[in-house]
């Protein structure tokens, strides 16, 4: 199919819920993608923080192929070894004791919301089901998770929303404290806001939330769907602070592009989820969990995470140098390899210009150029990205 045909048929047959770029991608390897005509692109989107090991890594393809020949799916009526191995690896690497597997970020948050309600119901009876979330947060597109999302544009037209969510200013412990009353059971927060514009909170924010939640017996839920799995240079973003939640959600990079979600929690909280209380047909199939285990094995290696921190620091310094040169850059933000440049104008046009020059990046919160390269990126690709940005910035001047 040629590109015109592809675009036309896409319009004819696919729900028009996405604004797509004028680009049809045919293949990928490492940090690079190729379009249908064989043109190469340097990818600093990585499927929105999904392909953390790059595109089509050989070892992942091998695991996928071998597992696909052995066992793909049997239902959670039965035990399977890949699922248990992944659960043991994940819980062994953080605060959690138990995992619930599902298929996406929204579903992981959905599970967290259901668990928080059920847990509170058991301890306090009905009426204590409120969840405090943050303005400009993003938690997904199902009805419950868009209700949790603190952005009106995502909720518009879908009312009535799921009851019980209230939104407060991000990065303010005080704002959360003020919103707590006898109807609240949990606080849901991204350790770094991704879609909200790569917003890194102050050092003591998560710690402040932890203290508040402990004091009021609220569950603290971290949405690490975008910033977990090595993205920030630690396996999980909150491990920079050393303050643990009661529940954490993962998805995106967990299987490097195969659909998976996970909700992790402590034994104490998990007790509220008994047999029959939650389920997912595809949740944690042998195929996806075998792949995720290999992803986990590679990303959790300290040498891998160390490289993410080193390249991330180099990248950040190069972006800060750009900021000194171009007055329209308001701020450089981020940690590890989730970085953003806030501009004083909408960034959509710059994204298109970079694409014309063979570099893919993404713009979020209208004015923030967001960089989410595969975590295997090196200073060579970072240099190329920065040079491309400069050439576009120069034209802007
Ligand atoms: C992407 C994302 C989600 C939603 O994940 P889906 O797999 O698209 O449902 C939720 N929370 C955060 C922080 C995300 O970045």
CB of 223 closer than 6 angstroms to any ligand 1 atom? yes
Beta bridge partners of 134: 168
pLDDT of residue 117: 98
CB of 260 closer than 6 angstroms to any ligand 1 atom? no
Task: Give residue 339's pLDDT band: very low, low, confident or very high (50, 70, 90).
Answer: very high
**138 labelled catalytic:** yes
CB of 105 closer than 6 angstroms to any ligand 1 atom? yes
First to last CA, the chain: 40
pLDDT of residue 126: 96
Task: Give residue 242's pLDDT band: very low, low, confident or very high (50, 70, 90).
Answer: confident
71-299 CATH = 3.40.640.10
List the catalytic residue out of 138, 296, 315, 371: 138
Percent of the chain at pLDDT exceeding 90: 99
pLDDT higher than 90, residue 357: yes
CB of 138 closer than 6 angstroms to any ligand 1 atom? yes
**315 labelled catalytic:** no
Residues 323, 351 contacting (CB under 8 angstroms): no
Cα of 104 from ligand 1 centre, angstroms: 7
pLDDT of residue 397: 64
Per-residue pLDDT averaged across 206-235, rounded? 98
Residues 320, 311 contacting (CB under 8 angstroms): no
* Helix, strand, coil percent content, the chain, rounded in steps of 5: 40, 20, 40
Residue 376 neighbours by CB distance under 10 Å: 21
In terms of CATH architecture, what is 3-56+302-396?
Alpha-Beta Complex (3.90)
pLDDT in tens, 304-319: 999 999 999 999 999 9
Nearest CA to ligand 1 atom 6: 105
pLDDT in tens, 260-318: 999 999 999 999 999 999 999 999 999 999 999 999 999 999 999 999 999 999 999 99
| Domains in the chain: boundaries | 3-56+302-396, 71-299
Task: Give residue 328's pLDDT band: very low, low, confident or very high (50, 70, 90).
Answer: very high
Average model confidence (pLDDT) for the chain?
A: 97
Contacts of 387 (CB under 8 A, 6+ apart): none
Percent of the chain at pLDDT exceeding 70: 100
List the catalytic residue out of 118, 234, 252, 307: 252
Task: Give residue 395's pLDDT band: very low, low, confident or very high (50, 70, 90).
Answer: confident
Residue 278 neighbours by CB distance under 10 Å: 16
Cα of 358 from ligand 1 centre, angstroms: 27
């Amino acid at each position: 199919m040629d590109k015109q045909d592809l675009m036309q048929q896409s319009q004819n047959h696919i729900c028009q819920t996405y604004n797509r770029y004028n680009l049809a991608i045919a293949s990928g390897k490492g940090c690079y993608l190729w379009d249908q005509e064989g043109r190469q692109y340097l990818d600093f989107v990585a499927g929105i923080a999904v392909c953390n090991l790059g595109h089509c890594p050989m070892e992942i393809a091998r695991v996928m192929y071998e597992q696909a020949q052995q066992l793909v799916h049997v239902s959670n009526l039965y035990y399977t070894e890949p699922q248990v191995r992944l659960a043991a690896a994940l819980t062994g690497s953080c605060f959690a004791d138990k995992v619930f597997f599902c298929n996406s970020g929204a579903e992981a948050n959905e599970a967290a919301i259901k668990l928080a309600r059920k847990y509170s119901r058991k301890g306090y009876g009905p009426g204590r089901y409120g969840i405090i979330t943050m303005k400009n947060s993003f938690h997904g597109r199902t009805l419950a998770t868009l209700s949790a999302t603190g952005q009106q544009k995502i909720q518009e037209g879908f009312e009535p929303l799921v009851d019980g969510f209230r939104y407060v200013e991000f990065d303010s412990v005080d704002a959360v404290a003020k919103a707590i009353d006898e109807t609240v059971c949990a606080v849901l927060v991204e350790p770094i806001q991704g879609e909200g514009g790569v917003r890194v909170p102050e050092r003591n924010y998560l710690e402040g939330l932890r203290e508040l939640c402990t004091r009021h017996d609220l569950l603290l839920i971290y949405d690490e769907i975008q910033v977990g799995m090595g993205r920030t240079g630690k396996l999980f973003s909150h491990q920079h602070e050393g303050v643990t939640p009661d529940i954490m959600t993962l998805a995106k990079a967990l299987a490097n592009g195969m659909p998976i979600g996970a909700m992790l929690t402590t034994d104490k909280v998990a007790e509220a989820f008994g047999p029959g209380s939650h389920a997912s047909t595809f949740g944690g199939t042998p195929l996806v969990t075998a792949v995720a285990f290999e992803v986990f094995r590679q990303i959790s290696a300290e040498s891998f995470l160390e490289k993410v921190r080193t390249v991330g620091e180099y990248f950040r310094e190069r972006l800060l140098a750009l900021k000194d040169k171009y007055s329209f850059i308001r701020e450089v933000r981020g940690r590890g390899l989730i970085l953003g440049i806030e501009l004083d104008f909408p960034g959509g046009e710059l994204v298109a210009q970079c694409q014309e020059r063979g570099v893919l990046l993404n713009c979020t919160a209208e004015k923030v150029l967001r960089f989410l390269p595969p975590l295997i990126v090196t200073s060579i690709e970072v240099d190329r990205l920065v040079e491309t940005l400069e050439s576009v910035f120069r034209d802007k001047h």
